Amino acid sequence: MNKELEHRFVTELENNQNIVHKVCTLYTNDRDSHNDLFQEITIQLWKAYPKFRGEAKFSTWMYRVALNTAITLYRKSKRRVQTQDYDSVIFKIKTDEYDDTEEKQLQLMYNAVKQLGDIDKALVFLYLEDKDYAEISETLGITEVNARVKMNRVKNKLRTILNP
Amino acid sequence: MMDELELLKQDWQKKEAHLPQLTYDEIYKMIWKKSSSIVKWIFYISIIEFALPHLLYLIPSVKSNLDIYSQLGLSNVILIVTILQYLVVFYFIYQFYVRYKEISVLDSAKQLTTNILKTRKTVKHYVFFSLSMVLLTFALLIVGVYLSDNVLEIFNLTGKIETVSEQKVKFTFMLGLAIFGVLFTVIFGGIYFLLYGLLTRKLRRNHKELQKLEI
């Protein structure tokens, strides 16, 4: 029984690991921290897995656990100096896909997002993942109206970072 | 701005291809690793904090000090205080356990931070209580010294300081106890709140952020 549960869990996580990697990318600045956070999220997912009854999609359920771990449970401070080398690996922009100005602008946007606070980052992340406000508000535990208000404030914040 | 964020969204979704990929075995190994989450830390540190004041009694010099209580005529008072103290301690431990059990990674971010901070607050109140008990103990000792007629005997000073009047010795002891008691409380309180602040800084920041809009 346990072996079966293990196998099912690892397979599902393997198939959906992109979600976790994306959270790690946003919340950490170097490879070691990325792996560290990935491991912690995996442990939290596994501990909570027996409570996963399949009424939601596994991926939906993952967003909540992964974000909660990054925002709340993860212990390492993200106050480290941002190291550019790892960012550029993850956020690499293929030059043939974009012209120069667009590439530059995207890079600036990514850097601006990384400067946001933990909660603002979670909002942007869920937005980028194409989640609606109902899901955003439920994941964070705020009302839908407040999620919208907050998202607008984040957009303003990003604007200020981009055009100081 | 809207367009810029839209642009970012498109690019973000294209990025999936560049993300690192772990194998089945790598993930399998991870599920057996120990968690190092803040909740674990809070749990262990809280246990130490619960146990620490009681471990102090195991130190021989503290034990011999307990004899002084009886010589100062404080035995009964101390017994009652101790019983009350343990009742309160068990109440705190029970509260801590109930709140700790409530912490679930499946809650919303706000609920989760609220529950963790509540758990931690139980320990904070416990530390307040413990420090008050320390102060009370010192206060009792001071009263004991004040009321006793044979201070020199109790502290094994008979014959050692004959030149000084007993009144003066009494006063010096009381003052010394008061200063030591306050210093002890301030130092331990300071260490604790520094630790407390460091441990929950991120939690409190994010909790405040989530709370900001709900007023």
A95-118 tens-digit pLDDT: 445 456 777 888 888 888 888 889
CB pairs under 8 A between A and B: 159
Percentage of chain B beyond pLDDT 70 is 81
**What does the mean pLDDT of chain B come to?**
82
Identify the band that residue B160 occupies on the pLDDT scale cut at 50, 70 and 90.
low
pLDDT of residue A95: 46
Burial class (CB in 10 A: 0-12, 13-18, 19+), B179: exposed
Q: How far is CA A43 from CA A12, B30, B103, in A?
A: 14, 7, 16
What confidence tens digit (pLDDT) does each residue in B164-192 have?
677 788 888 889 889 998 998 999 889 88
pLDDT of residue B57: 63
Sign of CA dihedral A54, A56, A57, A59: negative
CB A102 within 8 A of CB A26: no
Q: How far is CA B141 from CA A27, B57, B185, in A?
A: 53, 16, 15
User: How many residues are listed for chain A in this entry?
Assistant: 164
Partner A, chain B 74-113, Cβ-Cβ below 8 Å: 104-113
pLDDT of residue A66: 95
Q: Which two tokens stand for residue B94?
A: 């029970």
Identify the band that residue B19 occupies on the pLDDT scale cut at 50, 70 and 90.
confident
Asked if B161 reaches chain A (Cβ–Cβ under 8 Å), the answer is no
CB A146 within 8 A of CB B109: no
CB contact under 8 A, A90 and B15: yes
Which of A71, A105, A128 has the CB atom closest to B206's CB atom?
A71
Sign of CA dihedral A127, A133, A138, A142: positive
Average pLDDT over residues A139-163: 88
Which of B8, B116, B202 has the CB atom closest to A128's CB atom?
B8
A83 DSSP 8-state letter: P
CB A74 within 8 A of CB A28: no
Give the global pTM. 0.79
CB contact under 8 A, A42 and B24: no
Average pLDDT over residues A74-81: 56
**End-to-end distance of chain B based on CA atoms, in angstroms?**
28
Average pLDDT over residues B126-153: 81
CB contact under 8 A, B105 and A118: no
Asked if B10 reaches chain A (Cβ–Cβ under 8 Å), the answer is no
pLDDT of residue B43: 86
Q: Please, what's the largest Cα pairwise distance for chain A?
A: 58
Identify the band that residue B212 occupies on the pLDDT scale cut at 50, 70 and 90.
confident
Nearest CA in chain A to B10: A128
ipTM metric: 0.79
Alpha-helical segments (H) within chain A: 2-27, 31-48, 58-68, 84-90, 100-114, 118-128, 133-140, 144-162
What confidence tens digit (pLDDT) does each residue in A60-76 have?
889 999 999 999 888 76
Percentage of chain B beyond pLDDT 90 is 14
User: How many residues are listed for chain B in this entry?
Assistant: 215
pLDDT of residue B15: 81
Residues 6+ apart with CB under 8 A from B91: none
Which of A9, A44, A72 has the CB atom closest to B203's CB atom?
A72
- Residue B37: phi and psi, rounded to 5, are -75, 165
CB contact under 8 A, B113 and A46: no
pLDDT of residue A121: 93
CA distance B189 to chain A (A): 24
Q: Residue B32 in 3-state DSSP?
A: coil
**B18: number of Cβ within 10 Å:** 14
